[in-house]
Amino acid sequence: MKVSLNDLVKKFPASDSIAVNHVSLEINDGELMVFLGPSGCGKTTTMRMIAGLEMPDSGQIKIGERDVTFLAPKDRRVAMVFQNFSMYPSMTVFENIAFPLQVLKLSKAEIQQQVNDAAAIVGIGHLLKRSFRQVSGGEAQRVALARAMVRRPEVFLMDEPLSSLDAKLRVQLRTEIKRLHQETRSTIVFVTHDQEEAMSLGDKIVVMSKGEIQQMGTPQDVFFKPDNVFVANFVGTPSMNIFDATIQRADGGLCVDLGGLTQPVPAHFPSVSAGQAVKWGVRPEAIKFSAAPSASAVPGQVELIESLGSRQEVFVRAAGKLFSVILDALLPVRIGQSAHLRFEPDSIHLFDAQSGLSLASKPQPKNS
């Protein structure tokens, strides 16, 4: 079912700041939409308003064509999966999953069928007779997913459901949520503060900060075409290299003066003007690294190396700045060696220093 949020505003009386500030967005039927942002940016509040657990001060929420803004949670056909799910430890896995159905007074056969189906999809069919107390953390999370599924919600709301699990299990379960989504084609809203989780799960990502939407788009959009400095910084690990710079006149054209280093203005920034204060950015993965000098490369020296498993993060001091560069782990690099960095025009980002907005000429991402 499609979910539309129209100009939602929520301020808690106890708080000075606005928790959700004029948020509008559309989640298409069958889409897995991730809300991504730092703690306190309004993700949970937005989700609780969709669930009906919190009332907006103003704005409208639609599920499908129904205006649900003031409907009770039980009348919205949404199911929520939280980080701290409430289960009954003394009951079996089966009884826990069946619980919402028992309330609906379905027949025994119907309940059996629905529980079996849901358990099969999340891969816990063999655990149904076990006491909930005896399942592991990852299995418990699957039980919670199955219990949400038997209610056949039109929309799944998942608020950081994986954040209490260890790293390996998180990755495994997020693959299963992705599979669950592919099999059921249900609409899922998934909240996380973990940008890697957001990138791997989302059909689309909404990046939020301080109650406001910063950008909405595909994982590729927010990674390769950040609309502003906040998104550029928040998405991607390690973070984008970003330096203060000024646009200067040079050879009848313009260049970016980074202080001790000038770089050309790439063609996709047609509207910058001389004297403009900007932020110049390049992702660590996009920098070309060479031990040997070349004409357009900036000379520097390797200062620090951190292993990232299959890759390594190499910190290079060049033109007085420290650049983070991601390289294949097998490339031999040592501290103190000379390094030559090249920045390809296509991988350069420029943001206005005052507004923080991207200066790239590109179509704005649509809300659908």
Residues that bind ligand ADP (CB under 6 A): 12, 14-15, 17, 19, 37, 39-45
Q: Which of ligand ADP, Mg ion, none does 41 bind, CB closer than 5 to 8 A by kind?
A: ligand ADP
Shortest Cβ 212–Mg ion spacing (Å): 16
Minimum distance from residue 165 beta carbon to Mg ion (Å): 16
CA 165 to chain CA centroid, Å, is: 18
Residue nearest to Mg ion as judged by C-beta position: 44
Count of CB atoms within 10 A of residue 271's CB?
10
Cα(143)–Cα(364) distance, rounded to whole angstroms? 41
User: At CA 364, angle to CA 20 and CA 33, rounded to 5?
Assistant: 50
- List the strands of the sheet with 66-67, edge to edge: 20-27, 3-10, 58-63, 66-67
Q: Report the nearest approach of ligand ADP to the CB of residue 88 (Å).
A: 27
Is 44 a binder of Mg ion (CB under 5 A)?
yes
d(CA 262, CA 210): 34
40 binds, among ligand ADP, Mg ion, none (CB under 5 to 8 A by kind): ligand ADP
H-helix or E-strand spanning residue 207: strand 204-209
Q: Which is nearer to ligand ADP, 210 or 311 (CB)?
A: 210
Question: If you search the block for the tokens 């920045």, which residue do you land on?
Answer: 343
CB of 53 to Mg ion, least distance (A): 12
- In the list Mg ion, ligand ADP, none, the entry touching 15 (Cβ below 5 to 8 angstroms by class) is ligand ADP
Measured at the CA of 268, the angle between CA 267 and CA 271, to 5 degrees, comes to 95
Per CB under 5 A, the segment of 38-46, 57-65, 279-287, 336-344 that binds Mg ion is 38-46
Residue 228 contact among ligand ADP, Mg ion, none, beta carbon within 5 to 8 Å by kind: none
88 binds, among ligand ADP, Mg ion, none (CB under 5 to 8 A by kind): none
Residues 123-182 that bind Mg ion (CB under 5 A): none
* Residue 352 to residue 267: CA distance in whole angstroms: 16
Residue 209 contacts Mg ion per CB under 5 A: no
Q: Which residue has the tokens 């969709």?
A: 50
Q: Is 55 exposed, middle or buried (0-12, 13-18, 19+ CB in 10 A)?
A: exposed
Is 139 or 160 the residue whose CB approaches ligand ADP more closely?
160
Least separation in angstroms between residue 38's CB and Mg ion is 10
Binding residues for Mg ion, per CB under 5 A? 44
